[in-house]
Amino acid sequence: MRSGSATWVLATACLLACGCTTVAGLDRPYHLQPDAGAGGAGGAGGAGGSPPADARCDVEAGAGCVYDRCGAVPDSAPAGVYTIDPDGTGPAEPLQVHCGEPADGGRWALVYNSVGEEDGPTLEFWKILYADRLSPKGEPSLDSNHYQPGLYMAGREYRDEIEDIRGTVAEVLRATAEGIAPETMQLLAPVRVAGGEDNLFNWQFGTGWSSPDLDGDTKGDGNCATAYAGVTQHYGHCFVYNLGADADENADDPILDHGWGPHLETEVATSYGLSNDGSGYTRVNRIARWTRW
């Protein structure tokens, strides 16, 4: 049993008191978050000190609860941060995850989110080294840069969406995988379901993963991550979209676009009805990857 065993004992009483075991869509009961705070915020699982003795698992708001997936969060609860424990009472610690609105057969969990911003903060955020490949980074929100790699272990369905500089959002890829190899970050048995033409599936999902200190892409004469501002992500040869770099830039002026990230090949942006800034690799407001299982 993991740490916080006293809280897990309290969880049994919580389940009986709030009827959590009867919530539709769960394949196991959800329970109080270990060391959860009494209140929580924005539908979150809660954070802080131990809950009071009369703490209850709030079925409607999700406060104080741990779910096995975003799809188990009640439809009446808002989108926001929830505590997700994909392996139940297994060895992995629960994850703080942004769960979207109920849609398309269930909620999706946010794997990563790259937000456009000038002067380089986005570029710096995505310079994730190999040793940190499984460490979450940033706040789980659509308004900030975020990386939650623990979801790759559980994820089986994926979709990538891009918001252009005018605020239009398009789903550009839907795919499946059977997990991920944590040593290489290679997605296992990737299959394209929809979208992803123009090499987007092969270069952003179905091939390697590169960081400034790991060359896992298919580029034969270098590392795509180091070639484009040191930005880590799944790369082919090299990218259709990048979480924080512009392919129009060159070695003599690596911050030609004022450090903005992320970018999308303009031809691909046009094919999905997204606007562009007139360059070959257009700025976009946001690139996000979602998963569910």
Count Cα atoms within 13 angstroms, Cβ side, for 288: 25
Length of the chain: 293
pTM: 0.80
| Closest alpha carbon to 169 in 69, 264, 292, 278 | 264
pLDDT digits (tens), the chain, 293 positions: 333 333 333 333 333 333 333 233 333 333 333 333 323 333 343 332 223 332 235 555 545 799 999 999 999 999 999 999 998 877 788 999 999 999 988 999 999 999 999 888 999 999 999 999 999 999 999 999 999 999 999 999 999 999 999 999 999 999 999 999 999 999 999 999 999 998 999 999 999 999 999 999 999 999 999 999 999 999 999 999 999 998 886 545 545 688 899 999 999 999 999 999 988 999 999 999 999 99
Domain boundaries, the chain: 1-107, 110-292
Compute CA 37 distance to the chain's CA centroid, rounded to the nearest angstrom.
24
Count Cα atoms within 13 angstroms, Cβ side, for 212: 12
